[in-house]
A and B are shown apart, each in its own frame.
Chain A
């Protein structure tokens, strides 16, 4: 795949003053965001180049930070991707809004070229040193390392200490290291481990090595040997845009005639459709005019006509899925699993945008809490937008809204109505779309439109149904155990008390005990039969799943609907 041209668009000053808006609002978040931006970039770059990613992450405390209550943290992310040309390094790490992915309508992780330069800025502001980058492309003879700083006044990357390395342990790749003020939080919603686990889950093709402070080094091997195919970009659908976005979109195309812009800049617009737009009030004389010369009032008219025209829904070919089989393998990498279910939905159109939902629900043996789920904590929710874990502001998110509004009790999971279900489960929900709408600038909350929430609910309900057989079998086993216990405990007490009250002889006691065992034994046998039946059903779903997942990758889960 040819490297796209990297463009710059604005000044760094604004962002350097507003770092809190892009993930640097606290010491713990600063570490997470820096890691996240570097990892997202590595994974995107590998995928674009068709390389199976191997990432090496080191996070280490180096002493006290300059800010109050912070440590000096070293964060290093190393990949085996295509590497960057030397000219591009200062642009990528030192310039804001320099991205190859601008408005391209792809399901890539990075979307606007802010993240990694913000990390450089934060490092520079807190430790007086920018990004330490080492890069090698296939064409370069030697790897080159350098320090990149952001020239905040001019939004330019400045290179220092450039040196050629005579040997590097890889043919191509990129390594970036930041020294920043921050604090390490491992677990919980904003934790680094939570991030790494989530990233592992939705990237079955990733081999990840990481070393975190006070932790053993961990190596997680890939379980999928094919690199995911990120579908080509799709242009946005005109009906998903507001007027402002419509006008902004026109700025990206330069002096191009309105007619060509409409056809090139959008999906589902053809000559035929343009005729329809004219019928709906689009003035013919505008069509030949360059878009950048059109007045705002004229754009407003055009926009109105476009909205009135009926258009086909966009194609769903621009979205990708991880697939049930890889997900099923990947979820096992998160810990020892009791049972699980995965669902990959066929891509759908929601709010005129293509979207693909995938769900994995698993119960982990090592997360087992109280036996009675009523007393246990809510399930762990992992949310993903274009395979990037979302770790903050979950309450208004479409994913959480969807989970809360499914009736999990009908699948055997405890839940208070319209709340998160309870128990030692992990609920992972991935939303993939080239045009994900977020609730706010921090991009942690997926907008909960009715159509999207409904689509997520369907995926969840399918997963719940598949899970319910396992839970039923378990409940039956518990039931049998409890019944056995009950009989053993209460039977003898009941008989003895009766005998004492009526002053019955030992012979009667013996006979009554036998009778009781016989009576309740019948029930016990019934419970046993039910357990056997439930076990048969579990075997059935597991076999079905095996068959489904064995059908080969890429094949969408067509029988999911039928089964549900």
Chain B
């Protein structure tokens, strides 16, 4: 569904030509983009991720939208130039590049962005209009997370220059490999059969597991998500799923925020990124814990959700809405996940992943043992 890089300049020219022709004929040009929001999100259990519906955002040229339109075409011109020369930029750099253009061309002064959020939203708008990834426009975010450890994984990257680079993760010790930018250009290979991949919400905890010998004892891949998964993490986990075909488990906090913002995004993508979920979600990921029943089973310390914890309070409020409207949580296949959400709503408690460390405080490997036992006993949802 997404355009490939070579298409972008052609598509852009076609689009601009249409706009120009409309203007020549004194017709009102219209820009159409896919509506990226929950009310335009579909979910089928078979595909396993959120896809866009038929809704479109139409921007008609009028006195109010002429600013947005000229900003979009202005930024598109910069991006096309990047594609031509092969230069890449982050969104923040693009913000400054556009400010530089304005500085050197005073007639562009009205376009000036006063804040990066303004230029960011225009970049997103261009992507939605051309139905392409930001990366297709050579615009990369400084993506967080995705630190990966494994004794058996070898990654080969196809470089833009034409050559390739190979990294054997087993040779890195406790130093992680971190996928960047375009996971799609990576090729994965297992030196020996790998049993499973574990994605840990806290990158710190993932590193602890590795340092304590997790990867030595288990033929596995460990990934630190570092909170809400960035595009890099999402694309990377999808790659592991597709290329290695091994079970993937997610281990994180038991709270509404983790369920909706972290786990759901990893597994099925998000409503804001409908056009990219197909390549940036891993529907096979399972939620290993912390499960509500673990609290009793392992006698874990949990907490009441405090009103003052704004993020959690907001997530709980959102959870109610999600259960009613979010096609992911409504789908019968994800019944067990939504049951956890219901449990959270009802009990208003939360339990952190690190609580596993209290089960046997003198045994550093205890959390690892619990995790492996849970995998063996299929104690996940």
Contacts and interface: CB of A to CB of B under 8 A. Distances in A.
Contact of B66 (A491, A497, A501): A491
A512 B24 contact: yes
A500 B77 CA distance: 8
Which secondary structure dominates where chain B touches chain A? helix
B63 interface: yes
Interface string B30-48: 0000000000000000000
A502 interface: yes
Contacts of A511: 23-24
Interface in B68-89: 69-70, 73-74, 76-77, 80
Interface string A94-129: 000000000000000000000000000000000000
Given A493-B107, A495-B23, A501 B12 contact: yes
A516 B27 CA distance: 8
Interface stretch (B14-22, B156-164, B207-215, B256-264): B14-22
Interface residues of B, number: 30
B66 A486 contact: yes
Interface string A173-205: 000000000000000000000000000000000
B291 to A, nearest CB: 43
A289 to B, nearest CB: 64
Contact of A502 (B16, B61, B67): B16
A498 B31 CA distance: 14
A212 interface: no
B62 interface: yes
Given A493-B111, A497-B74, A502-B17, A520 B66 contact: yes
Interface in A489-544: 489-495, 497-502, 504, 508, 511-516, 518-520, 523-524, 527
B1 interface: no
A497 B73 contact: yes
Contact of A486 (B26, B63, B74): B63
Contacts of B61: 516, 519-520
B17 A515 contact: no
B73 A501 contact: yes
Contact of A490 (B19, B77, B110): B110
B108 to A, nearest CB: 6
Nearest to B76: A501
Nearest to B74: A497
A475 to B, nearest CB: 15
A512 B16 CA distance: 12
B16 A501 contact: yes
Q: Is the interface of A mostly helix, strand, loop or mixed?
A: helix
A545 interface: no
Contacts of B110: 489-490, 493
A487 interface: yes
Given A489-B110, A493-B108, A520-B62, A515 B73 contact: no
A491 B66 CA distance: 7
Nearest to B110: A489
Contacts of A519: 23, 26-28, 61
B347 interface: no
Contacts of B13: 501-502
Contacts, number: 83
A74 interface: no
User: Which of A483, A487, A490, A494 has its CB near the most chain B CB atoms (within 10 A)?
Assistant: A494
Given A486-B66, A491-B66, A499 B23 contact: no
Among B24, B63, B69, the one with the most A-chain Cβ atoms within 10 Å of its Cβ is: B63
Interface string A410-430: 000000000000000000000
Contacts of A491: 66
Given A501-B13, A515-B26, A486 B20 contact: no
B225 to A, nearest CB: 40
B64 interface: yes
Given A489-B110, A494-B73, A524-B63, A501 B80 contact: yes
A503 to B, nearest CB: 9
Contacts of A492: 107
Contact of B73 (A483, A486, A498): A498
Contacts of B64: 486
Contacts of A520: 61-63, 66
B77 A497 contact: yes
A432 to B, nearest CB: 47
Choose among A486, A491, A492, A513 the residue with the greatest number of B CB atoms under 10 Å from its CB: A486
A523 B108 CA distance: 23
B25 interface: yes
Contact of A498 (B20, B67, B111): B20
A490 B111 CA distance: 8
Nearest to B70: A494
Nearest to A485: B110
B129 to A, nearest CB: 14
A498 B18 CA distance: 10
B20 A499 contact: yes
A494 B69 contact: yes
B24 A486 contact: no
Contacts of A499: 20
A521 to B, nearest CB: 10
A523 B74 contact: no
Contacts of A502: 13, 16-17, 20
A523 B24 contact: no
Given A502-B17, A508-B20, A508-B24, A486 B77 contact: no
A405 B137 CA distance: 52
Interface string B87-117: 0000000000000000000011011000000
B77 to A, nearest CB: 6
Interface string B165-193: 00000000000000000000000000000
Given A501-B12, A511-B24, A515-B25, A493 B19 contact: no
B75 to A, nearest CB: 10
Contacts of B20: 495, 498-499, 502, 504, 508, 512
Given A511-B24, A512-B24, A523 B63 contact: yes
B70 A487 contact: no
Contacts of A494: 66, 69-70, 73
Interface in A472-491: 483, 486-487, 489-491
Contacts of A508: 20, 24
B67 A490 contact: yes
Interface in A11-52: none
Nearest to B13: A502
A80 B69 CA distance: 71
B364 to A, nearest CB: 54
A527 B19 CA distance: 25
B26 A518 contact: yes
The 7 tightest CB contacts between A and B, nearest first, are: A489-B110, A494-B70, A512-B23, A515-B26, A515-B23, A483-B63, A497-B73
25 contacts: A486-B63, A487-B66, A490-B67, A490-B111, A492-B107, A493-B108, A494-B66, A494-B73, A495-B20, A497-B74, A498-B19, A498-B23, A498-B73, A500-B77, A501-B12, A502-B13, A502-B16, A511-B23, A512-B20, A512-B23, A515-B22, A516-B61, A519-B26, A519-B61, A523-B62
Interface of B: 12-13, 16-17, 19-20, 22-28, 61-64, 66-67, 69-70, 73-74, 76-77, 80, 107-108, 110-111
Given A513-B23, A516-B23, A520-B61, 8 more contacts: A487-B63, A490-B67, A490-B70, A498-B23, A501-B12, A501-B73, A502-B13, A527-B63
